[in-house]
Amino acid sequence: MRILVLQHLESDHPGMLRNCLSEYDIEWDAVLLEKGQEIPDLNAYDAMWVMGGPMNVWDIEKYPWLVDEKNAIRFWVEELKRPYLGICLGHQLLADALGGKCFPQDTPEIGIFEIELNNNGINDTIFNGMDERQFCLQWHFVKVKELPKNSLVLASSSLCEVQAMKVGHCAWSMQYHVEVEPETIDNWISDTDYRFSLEESLGKGVLDDIKKQATLLMPNLNSNCRKIFSNFLSVLR
């Protein structure tokens, strides 16, 4: 089994999911798109993960590699029909690549927020054995506004209707960060784009509160990550 991971920044790696991959001895290849690395032959992989990043789906002039990435996602989901997991930007890219639309969110979600599964989510494989209401780490200024065809909303929050969705029979994505680990926030704020966007929207001094909340909830956040990984893995077997 081999998983292809598309990363937009070095700091936006699979996080806690790396531990899961190691524990199950699953091979994975990371492609650092911002470094100019090319997407390899997709036929060599059993699953695709697309991680987060501070760029937007429409930033193709600044990040021209987004065009190839969207084409790869479209081919993966529509032609190869193999399991896909998108996180944050990877969630938005899934929607955009398949004909949905993303727009700036009126009120950004940055920090610990609660999401709620709907009936679709409660009964979906990816959330098997998980609570209907879950706390999670959010860090986004854009949301999926219009779903692509053949898709279902699985979870929502008070500020974002499409917190999780499923496209087709085995493509899942979450707007929130299931992969969070103790070092995640520090890694993000070391990036100038992330830090600037945070301070611009919320002002300075908010990071300490976010880190305290995340630290308190980390065992629960990591437990949810492991469940999602296990559920995703069950589709691959």
- The answer to whether 123 and 183 have CB atoms below 8 angstroms apart is no
Token pair of 220, please?
A: 């629960």
Amino acid at 87: I
Token pair of 16, please?
A: 């806690």
Q: In angstroms, how far is CA 121 from the centroid of its own chain?
A: 16
Query: Buried b vs exposed e over 20-31: b needs ≥16 C-beta within 10 Å?
Result: bbeeeebebebb
Could you list the active site residues? Answer: 88, 177, 179
For residue 116, the tally of other CB atoms under 10 A from its CB is 15
